């Protein structure tokens, strides 16, 4: 008995003929060398658009994702953003009540005002001392003393302003703002909750672009370049095709896996797509060409020994072929010579003989109405 491997995933290349045996195996009848085939054992060579590419799979994620953390300790008040809400860069998401920090800022500002007043007085005294010194009514020591007092007042003001800047900045951190424009994807704090510095309060994402990050072998990475077109297929939208591009390529391969990181980007300005969708991104590394294609499993041998088994006038004929481009996603090979569109080829043939007669397996008859099985 001869048998042929079961073929799946050929899609439009399948020749729909007759049903297979109940056990999934195809019998090859040894009587007179006759080979009986089912629909899973043959495919039709077809003229098709063939594109070469490198495929990556994974989840699409927003190209910007920021965790907004508390920068001061206190109690959250005035939560102003909810999940799914669009926010502008700098928009207030919440406020943290921290009276001690606010008081320090107010005290620091008062210190600046006092230092400014002291400096103004020191300047007037210095000007008066200069006038008296130039008129000979003041000694040089007294004039230098007034000048030193002015310089000390200037230094005191600088110190007060520096302290105030730090205190005011700390007080401003009581307002929790969004660092980017986008949408709130998560709110992990409630009104009245006590928080500490470093605690995550919100997550804000910008999904104007979605990114797919993956890795490809070093030999395939040599075909990938920034800016190349990418065709995306999304599980959530099986009948649609989306277009994007290669955003960046890691300059160094992982020494352990010999894989290179690749990031693909998909435009999403209308925010139609959401992060987390599973997708396949195919980098188009070559131009689209018209070619006769057959399933990859139909081609046996390599190089000059590449061949297929063609059904020609009811007989099996071994045909040498020249293999062209390969489409990994569809699992097909372009054939530049040796097979014509419309010819039937065996898929993953076993031990077959040149010139063996072929018969397609008959489909089971439909039961007659009222007839017992």
Domain at 39, CATH number: 2.40.420.20
CA atoms of 302 and 240, how far apart (whole Å): 36
- The closest of 108, 21, 54 to 219, measured between CA atoms, is 54
Q: Residue 305 falls within a domain, yes or no?
A: yes
Indicate the residue among 123, 143, 173 that finishes a domain.
173
* Coil/strand/helix, residue 147: helix
Q: Residue 271 falls within a domain, yes or no?
A: no
Buried b or exposed e, range 195-227, using 16+ CB within 10 angstroms:
beeeeebbbbbbbebbbbbbbbeeebbeebeee
Question: In this predicted structure, what is the pLDDT of residue 331?
Answer: 83
- Looking at the fold, whether 42 and 106 belong to one and the same domain comes out as no
- 264, exposed or middle or buried, with CB in 10 Å at 0-12, 13-18, 19+? buried
Question: In this predicted structure, what is the pLDDT of residue 251?
Answer: 92
CA atoms of 76 and 322, how far apart (whole Å): 71
Q: Residue 22 falls within a domain, yes or no?
A: yes
Question: In this predicted structure, what is the pLDDT of residue 73?
Answer: 83
Q: Residue 252 falls within a domain, yes or no?
A: no
> By the 8 A CB rule, do 339 and 321 touch?
yes
* Blockwise average pLDDT, block size 10, the chain, 373 residues: 35 32 38 76 88 87 94 85 92 80 65 82 86 85 86 84 66 81 92 90 95 92 91 90 94 92 94 92 83 91 90 91 82 90 86 86 47 41
For β-strands 35-37 and 358-360, DSSP reports them as parallel
Question: In this predicted structure, what is the pLDDT of residue 88?
Answer: 95
Split into its structural domains, the chain has a count of 2
Task: Look up the CATH number of the domain holding residue 149.
Answer: 1.10.287
Indicate the residue among 117, 149, 173 that finishes a domain.
173
Q: Residue 81 falls within a domain, yes or no?
A: no
Question: In this predicted structure, what is the pLDDT of residue 286?
Answer: 76
Q: Residue 73 falls within a domain, yes or no?
A: no
Q: Which helix (H) or strand (E) holds 360?
A: strand 358-360
Q: Residue 113 falls within a domain, yes or no?
A: yes
Q: Residue 308 falls within a domain, yes or no?
A: yes
- Looking at the fold, whether 46 and 105 belong to one and the same domain comes out as no
* DSSP-assigned states of every residue in 197-213: TT-EEEEEEEEEEEEEE
DSSP 297: G
Q: How many CB atoms lie within 10 A of CB 356?
A: 17
- Looking at the fold, whether 109 and 44 belong to one and the same domain comes out as no
Give this prediction's pTM: 0.57
Indicate the residue among 116, 145, 173 that finishes a domain.
173
> By the 8 A CB rule, do 13 and 39 touch?
no
Question: In this predicted structure, what is the pLDDT of residue 362?
Answer: 63
The separation between CA 320 and the C-alpha centre of its own chain, rounded to angstroms, equals 42
The percent helix, strand, coil of the chain (3-state, each to 5) is 25, 40, 40
- Residue 119: give the domain boundaries: 99-173
Question: In this predicted structure, what is the pLDDT of residue 6?
Answer: 35
CA atoms of 227 and 242, how far apart (whole Å): 16
């Amino acid at each position: 008995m001869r048998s042929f491997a079961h073929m799946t995933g050929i899609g439009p290349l399948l020749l729909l003929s007759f049903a297979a045996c109940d056990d999934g195996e195809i019998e090859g009848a040894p009587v007179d060398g006759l080979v009986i085939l089912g629909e899973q054992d043959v495919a039709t060579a077809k003229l098709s658009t063939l594109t070469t590419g490198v495929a990556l799979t994974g989840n699409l994620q927003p190209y910007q994702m920021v965790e907004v953390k508390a920068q001061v300790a206190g109690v959250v008040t005035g939560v102003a953003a909810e999940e799914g809400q669009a926010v502008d860069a700098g928009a207030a998401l919440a406020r943290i009540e921290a009276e001690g920090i606010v008081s320090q800022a107010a005290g620091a500002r008062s210190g600046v005002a006092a230092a400014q007043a002291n400096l103004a007085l020191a300047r007037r005294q210095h000007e008066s001392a200069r006038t008296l010194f130039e008129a000979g009514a003041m000694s040089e020591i007294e004039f230098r003393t007034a000048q030193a007092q002015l310089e000390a007042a200037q230094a005191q003001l600088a110190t007060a302003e520096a302290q105030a800047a730090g205190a005011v900045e700390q007080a401003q951190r009581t307002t929790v703002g969004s660092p980017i424009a986008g949408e709130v994807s998560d709110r992990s704090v409630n009104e009245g909750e006590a928080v500490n510095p470093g605690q995550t309060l919100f997550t804000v994402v910008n999904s104007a672009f979605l990114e797919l990050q993956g890795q490809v072998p070093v030999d395939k990475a040599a075909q990938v370049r920034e800016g190349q077109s990418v065709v995306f297929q999304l599980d959530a939208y099986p009948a649609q095709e989306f277009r994007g591009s290669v955003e960046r390529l890691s300059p160094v391969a992982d020494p352990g896996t010999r894989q290179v990181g690749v990031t693909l980007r998909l435009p999403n300005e209308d925010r139609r797509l959401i992060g987390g969708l599973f997708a396949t991104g195919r980098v188009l590394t070559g131009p689209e060409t018209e070619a006769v294609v057959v399933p990859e499993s139909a081609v046996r041998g390599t190089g000059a020994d590449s061949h297929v088994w063609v059904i020609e006038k009811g007989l099996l004929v071994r045909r040498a072929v020249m293999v062209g481009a390969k489409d990994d996603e569809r699992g097909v090979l372009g054939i530049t010579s040796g097979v014509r569109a419309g010819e039937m080829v065996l898929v993953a043939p076993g031990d077959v003989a040149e010139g063996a007669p072929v018969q397609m397996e008959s489909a089971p008859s439909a039961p007659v109405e009222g007839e017992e099985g």
